[in-house]
Structure 1
Amino acid sequence: MVGKKSGKALQREEGLARTDNNLDLTIWPQVNMINQKNYYTEYLKRDDQYLAYRTLQDENRNNMVKEFRDKDRALAGVEPNAAADDAAADEAANSLPEAHGSKIIVIHPGSQNLRIGLANDALPKSVPMCIAKQWRENESEEDGGEPKPKRVKIDNELPAEPEKWFGDEFATQYTGMSTELKQRMRLNKRRLMPNSKELVVNYNKKVYSETITEHNDPHRIDWTELPPDPRKAPMYFTGQAALRIPEKSKPRYKVFWPLRNGSWFNERDYTDKRTLWNDIILIIEDTIKSQLGLDRKKDWAQYSCVFIIPDLYERTYVTTVLDVLMREFGFRRACFMQESVAATFGAGYSCSCIVDIGAQKTSICCVDDGMCVEESRMNLKYGGADVTELFMKMMLYDHFPYEEINLKRRYDFLLAEELKWKHCTMSEGTITVLVDDFHLRAAGQDTRKYSFKFYDETMLAPMAYFKPEVFDHSNKLKRRRAIIDRSYDLYDGSPNDPTSHSQTAALQVSSTLLPPEPAPERNGTITSMTATPSRERPFNLLSRLNDPTIEATPRSSVAGSPAPEGTPQPIATNGRASPTPGNAMGGDITNANGVTVFASNDALAEKIALAETRDLILPVMALDAAILTSIHAGARGDDKKTRDFMGGIMVVGGGAKFPNFNAFLEERLKEMQPAFAKEILIGPPPRELDQQLVVWKGGSVFGRLSSSGNDSWVYGREYDVLGSKLLAQKCMWNW
């Protein structure tokens, strides 16, 4: 019988002894269990965990090091260029002027003019925001040579009487405005000359032109010269040179304006968005080289850029511009600033209501402590160019001697602008029958001198700001969204362009003033609206915006959610969302970015329907009513804030540079709001600054702020990593 063995003997004999030397079975780290009652994380809770903030801290640290290094060298009596470390000395030398703004470019583009300059410049350079490219025919020869303003033909013939050239509706509106002005002047005890219109018409009927030879004209124009061989002609011209190309040039050139009505891309004259963006790049690039003297593009990497955008912008516009500044131009850093905030920076106001009247848009916004009040932002699609066209229509109605004037021709457009700024006024005391003359200068023709009489047309044209339905709005929505779609949220696929209650009120008024526009053309076809649910009740934009199920400004997200496997794909038409078959109320939708989103109900379809409806309505509203609407929306019922905004109204922009315009507008506002008659005040820009340059001046002031106080710069290296998502952390407003 075998005796009993001990445990150690069994381990030794049976091989059960441990021989692994306490080594782990895996090299993966062992994660301890989390205490469910008390655990803590610091993920995304510190600024240094964001690349955008780390870049700013590194920049501030480098600037501090350079500053102390320069102080030490100054105390030691060592010049930066004579230092031992040449690379560090050059870097320090390049950093010194930047603090004074010589390395910062401020760009403010508009529908008609581009204002650009260095931040330390007293005034910017202003150039036309246009480009002339070789084309089959020029802009005045298109559409069969139809002129602008458009004349109404009867039986394919133009009536002999100019009173019938623009239709009965315009004649009624013009006569009504003249009667209202006469009544107003009588109430103000103004003297009226009887038969004033007859005096003007009878004189203009008898006027003939006087020919002046070119060598006798002391103010002859230097036209853009083209080489004799058309094959050697440049492919394009930009700025003022584009407007001075002869109409009958060989080869023909057509002038394009890439931006229309403020921040809208000119989709009416372009068929490809890449060509549109390329023209904007060429205009800005040529302006930087010619006006700022920065010929070598490789040197632009040392420069920063402050780009001024509208208050009520489109996201596609901002992201496209940011990509151009970073990748095409290669700037070291860039930042965006809203127009109204820039105006307050330029004027030194802390609380103000900014009324910016440009060439083709009028924006209104209340600014409080350097921030735009979001619900007060308003962008109306009329401006100084509409006044020019209306002024010419009124002059032609009263038998203007130069009957062939066509605003599509370059020299006629410049002539009309000259006559508007010379004669238009808002002062009733100057309204009387006057006589004046002008010179018509065209390439290859002798100068013609005309004399003409005018009466109240000079005041009725700018008064149309308070009656905007008189303007011609027929082509402003043509081909809207034809090549560039709106921006969509990457998370839920809903349109996320910013809007406001003030803009919604303007759209509501516009829907009653102007006839509805048809669905925009996309790729040559009319877009079907079946993707949005139909409603039997009357359309009310205000009630739909205030619906709690609809977000006014949907949130942004980093990435979209992919569709699960087996989900039926929707049918996309021209890049637009359409419902899946069998679910006509929305369901799964693919947005323009190709991301499939899901709607448990018709909330998403309602948001898309609301955006579609907005695009079919042109925002137009009387200027005085729009200002009061914006102020009341910005004050949010606060009486003190309302009085502050009423007393801080400032009119900027070139569309309102008429004598006595501010006083006339102030009187209109007091008539509409007698309770605030003592508070309403419209002040001019301080220090006798040109109101056209206030916005640019504010951008230059903002750009010269120190880096430690300005955290809105987007640097190139962080843009390469994060792209346009940086704007959520960099913008001073709610992106």
Structure 2
Amino acid sequence: MLLKSMQFRGVIALQESVCAAFGAGISTACVVDIGAEVTKVACVEDGVCIANSRAVLKYGGDDITRCFAALVKRTGFPYRELDLGQTYDWRLMEELKEKWCTLNEADLTVQVYNFFVRRPEKHTQKYQVKVHDEVALSPMCLFFPGVIQRRIEEREINPTFAKHNNYEDINEDAPPISLMNQSAKKNTAAAAAAVAAARAGTPAAGEDNSNPNNTNNGGTTSNVGTPGATPASTPAPSATTPAAAATASTTALTLPPPPVAAPVHHPFDMDPSVITTEKTWEIAGTIGKDNFSSLVALDVVVAQAISNCGSEERSKKLYGSIILVGGGGMIQGFDRVLEDRLFQALPATLTTVEKVEVLPSPRDMDPRLLVWKGASVLGKLESAKELWIKPLEWDLQGRKVLRDKSLFFWGKD
């Protein structure tokens, strides 16, 4: 299209990670590109992208916006007509996310903000809202992607799914981040009790033996609390009617005991600051492949991508030169949180790594433009003259010319 339809005089095929490294002025780096819908991780050494270190995650800055909108909506957001399906409301939440969201601990206090809502053919309205930890919990969804699991699955099933369709689809089954370890232990104990009760033919404590479609179980339950209250992670005990008990006894006598289910590894089943060996081995063979799981935390992917690069000396260089590009990484304190989580998860074999450092953009440049700056620098190099693809060469050789004039391996015909 560039050569034929738009009549460009020449084109150079470059990788975004290589351009980001050149834009930052370094030759070796681990590039973390947090875009709107996807997050890309790739390691670059001497201007060449290491193939085994590439990974693409199907979450990004838009998921932070949706999570932020859902959290403030549940805590009494004054703008009740908020609809992310409308362009002006989506831009409003994008603006509030950029202004309010932070991961600096010093800023995690109760704050009162004013904002303006401008809608077509209506007067500008001014609102006042009080926020607390919502500004920090929403960016943490990149480290705990289980809370946005439903959105990721919908995107994988239907890639053309409207990105602004629904913002209240964060996973309510995922426990709060602060109660992660306690909830994991409770879920494990409840599962063990349910299996033991099923084998014995008696209902477990808190288990509803009535119709599973009957959510009220013969009564009415009212949800009393603040608008932002989070649903309980474990169901409350419910009364069992005699008919339901008889049905449960008959089922227990006629059906064989259910098999013990294999343990399911949930993103919240592990300490957020520690990457276990088992979890690392689960994703060790998927970095650089198309079937990479999008429910893996960002810090886990970065650590595994660097580990796949080979020698200890190379890993040490990459841990000390991490670059954040894209708009998703512009949240205040995000780089410090990523550094802390990576440092706490360092493998025992890397004893020479003294610190993990996320490099700032050179001369306070917008990280969203870092890739374009690197591409412009590469295009002006003297050695880049041999990489230009002219329209005549494309007409004669087609896609085969990409194999001869690319800095990376082109595996397509």
TM-score (norm 1): 0.38
Alignment partner for residue 680 of structure 1, among 356, 368, 375?
356
1:545/1:343 CA distance change after superposition, 3 Å: closer
Structure-to-structure mapping, 1:329-368, within 5 angstroms = 329-368=6-45
User: 1:439 and 2:116 equivalent?
Assistant: yes
Are the structure 2 counterparts of residues 480 and 657 from structure 1 closer, same or farther at C-alpha, using a change threshold of 3 Å? closer
Q: Deviations over 1:389-433 (max 9, x none)?
A: 000000011121112211110110110011101100010111111
Cα distance in 2 between the residues matched to 1:381 and 1:345: 25
Q: TM-score, normalised by structure 2?
A: 0.66
Residue 683 of structure 1, CA deviation:
1.3
Instruction: Provide the residue aligned with 2:62 in structure 1.
Output: 385
Structure 2 residue runs without a partner (length 5+): 162-263, 268-280
Task: Provide Cα deviations, 1:317-358, integer angstroms capped at 9, x if missing partner.
Answer: xxxxxxx11111111111111111001111111111111111
Taking every aligned residue pair, what percent have the same amino acid on both sides?
37
Summarize the Cα distance change of 1:337–1:664 in structure 2 as closer, same or farther, 3 Å threshold: same
Higher relative contact order (CA 8 A, sep 6+): 2
Q: Alpha carbons of 1:688 and 1:452: their partners in 2 closer, same or farther (altered >3 Å)?
A: same
Provide the secondary structure at the position in 2 that maps to 1:415: helix
Question: Is 1:690 aligned with 2:355?
Answer: no
Shift of 1:677: 5.5
Deviation at 1:481, TM superposition (A): 10
| Cα distance between partner residues in 1 of 2:106 and 2:387 | 49
Rounded to whole Å, the distance in 1 between the matches of 2:33 and 2:296 is 14
- Distance 1:676-1:428 versus aligned 2 partners, 3 A rule: farther
Distance of aligned partners of 1:430 and 1:405 in 2 relative to their CA distance in 1, 3 Å threshold: same
- What is the distance in 2 between the residues matched to 1:704 and 1:417? 35
SS of the counterpart of 1:408? coil
Structure 2 counterpart of 1:74: none
1:334–1:715: 8 Å Cα contact kept in structure 2?
yes
Corresponding residue for residue 52 of structure 2: 375
Task: Give 3-state SS (helix, strand or coil) of 1:670's partner.
Answer: helix
Measure, in 2, the Cα distance between the counterparts of 1:691 and 1:447: 32
Letter in 2 for 1:478: I
Structure 2 counterpart of 1:403: 80
Q: Report the residue type matching 2:343 in the other structure.
A: K
Provide the residue aligned with 2:107 in structure 1. 430
Per the alignment, residue 312 of structure 1 pairs with none
Deviation string 1:191-221 (CA, Å, 9 cap, x unpaired) is xxxxxxxxxxxxxxxxxxxxxxxxxxxxxxx
Is structure 2 residue 335 aligned with structure 1 residue 662?
A: yes
Amino acid at match of 1:473: I
Q: Is the 8 A contact 1:670 1:676 kept in 2?
A: no
1:671 equivalent to 2:344? Answer yes
Q: Which runs of 5+ in 1 are unaligned?
A: 1-323, 483-510, 515-539, 547-551, 554-610
Distance 1:374 1:710, change over 3 A: farther
Alpha-carbon distance in 2 for matches of 1:625, 1:402:
37
Q: Which residue of 2 aligns with 1:653?
A: 326
In structure 1, what residue type is equivalent to 2:315? T
Output the CA distance in 1 between the equivalents of 2:283 and 2:362.
38
Q: Which of the numbers 158, 175, 188 marks the counterpart of 1:479?
A: 158
Is 2:131 the partner of 1:458?
Answer: no
State the alpha-carbon separation in 1 of the partners of residues 32 and 295 from structure 2. 15
1:705 is matched with which residue?
Answer: 381
Which protein has the larger Cα radius of gyration, Structure 1 or Structure 2?
1
Match of 1:416 in 2: 93
Give 1:258-277 correspondences, 5 Å limit: none
Look up the match of 2:314. Answer: 641
**8 Å CA contact retained: 2:35, 2:326:** yes
Offset at residue 438 of structure 1 (A): 1.0
Displacement, 1:709?
4.2
Q: What aligned pairs does 1:484-523 form with structure 2 within 5 A after superposition? A: none
Checking the alignment, whether the CA contact within 8 Å between 1:647 and 1:681 is kept in structure 2 is yes
Q: Structure 1 residues 428, 370: closer, same or farther in 2, change over 3 A? A: same
Counterpart-to-counterpart distance in 2, 1:701 and 1:721:
29
Deviation, structure 1 residue 679: 3.3
Q: Is the 8 A contact 1:713 1:730 kept in 2?
A: yes
> What number of residue pairs does the alignment pair up?
290
Structure 1 stretch displaced more, 643-652 or 675-684: 675-684
CA distance in 2, matches of 1:542, 1:424: 30
Deviations 1:681-728 (A, max 9, x none): 11102222111111110011011123x544221110011111112111
Q: Report if the CA contact (8 A) 1:669-1:680 is conserved.
A: yes
Secondary structure at 2:14 match in 1 = strand
Amino acid at match of 2:363: R
Q: 2 CA distance for matches of 1:695 and 1:543?
A: 28
1:630 aligns with 2:305: yes
* CA deviation string 1:89-147 (max 9, x = no partner): xxxxxxxxxxxxxxxxxxxxxxxxxxxxxxxxxxxxxxxxxxxxxxxxxxxxxxxxxxx
Matched residue type, 1:640: E
Residues 343 and 355, structure 2, Cα contact 8 Å, conserved in 1: no
Q: What amino acid is aligned across from residue 299 of structure 2 in structure 1?
A: D
Secondary structure in 2 matching 1:345: helix
Residue 730 of structure 1: which of 385, 405, 411 is its match? 405
Q: CA RMSD in A?
A: 2.6
Q: 1:382 to 1:622 in 2, by over 3 A?
A: same
Secondary structure, in 3 states, of the residue corresponding to 1:692? helix
Q: Which amino acid aligns with 1:721?
A: L
What CA distance in whole angstroms lies between the structure 2 residues aligned with 1:431 and 1:326?
A: 52
Are residues 695 and 709 of structure 1, via their aligned partners in 2, closer, same or farther at CA, if it must alter by over 3 Å? Answer: closer
- Is contact 1:651-1:682 (8 Å) kept? yes
Matches within 5 A, 1:480-629: 480=159, 614=291, 619-629=294-304
CA deviation profile, 1:550-605 (whole Å, cap 9, x unmatched)? xx99xxxxxxxxxxxxxxxxxxxxxxxxxxxxxxxxxxxxxxxxxxxxxxxxxxxx
Q: Structure 2: which amino acid aligns with 1:680?
A: V
CA 1:434–1:544: 2 relative to 1, 3 Å: closer
Residue type matched to 1:394 in 2?
Answer: L
* Residues 402, 342 of structure 1: alpha-carbon distance in 2 compared, 3 angstrom cutoff: same
